[in-house]
Amino acid sequence: MPSESEVQRNLRESQILSHKINLLLDVVVPQRGGGDRYEFKEIQGALAEQGIQLSRTRWQHIKQGTATVRQPQEVLTGLADFFGVDQSYLLEPDGETPERIQHELELLAAMRRAKVKDFATRTLSDVDNDTLSAIAELLEDSERYD
């Protein structure tokens, strides 16, 4: 039976893994188009082709970060291969975010900021120029600290 500290460590690692998996689900979009996330059945099928079993329960524990036991290495390597990232990203709690994912995140952040600016321009059209300048300055400052 695992000790309390081992359970806590596994839970912490499970939460880190959950964050990474959800990040991949948000950023890596299927080739089928539409911009939708991968569905469980697609991921399960791809892993099954590699001879790796992924149950819905295990997948939910991975996505939610609620597992108190370590996930099998073969499942994590299969998921890394599926998403096209280095295996160390999922195998190691401090595995570095893949460069491609980092670039996608930066692009998404820039797109979000552009939408905010566009929305502010349309919504605040009746606001005086000094206030608009102050808002623009705040948005520019926030970009520098992202």
pLDDT given at position 40 = 95
- Record the pTM: 0.67
Q: Does the pLDDT of residue 145 top 60, yes or no?
A: no
**Alpha-carbon gap, residue 76 to 118, rounded angstroms:** 40
pLDDT given at position 81 = 95
pLDDT given at position 46 = 96
Fold of domain 4-96: 434 Repressor (Amino-terminal Domain) (1.10.260)
Tens-digit pLDDT profile for residues 86-119: 899 899 888 777 777 777 767 666 666 667 666 6
The structure tokens 């979009």 sit at 29
Tens-digit pLDDT profile for residues 24-83: 888 887 666 666 789 999 999 999 999 999 999 999 999 999 988 889 999 999 999 999
Structure token digits, residue 83:
């998403």
pLDDT given at position 7 = 80
Query: What crossing angle do the helices spanning 56-64 and 4-27 adopt, rounded to 10°?
Result: 90
pLDDT given at position 45 = 97
Q: Does the pLDDT of residue 11 top 80, yes or no?
A: yes
Q: Tell me the mean pLDDT in the region 122-140.
A: 71
18: Cβ–Cβ under 8 A, 6 or more apart, which residues?
62, 63, 64, 65, 66
Beta-sheet strands, E only, within 3-117? none
pLDDT given at position 50 = 95
Distance of CA 111 to the CA centre of its chain: 17
Q: Which amino acid is at 109?
A: A
Q: Does the pLDDT of residue 143 top 90, yes or no?
A: no
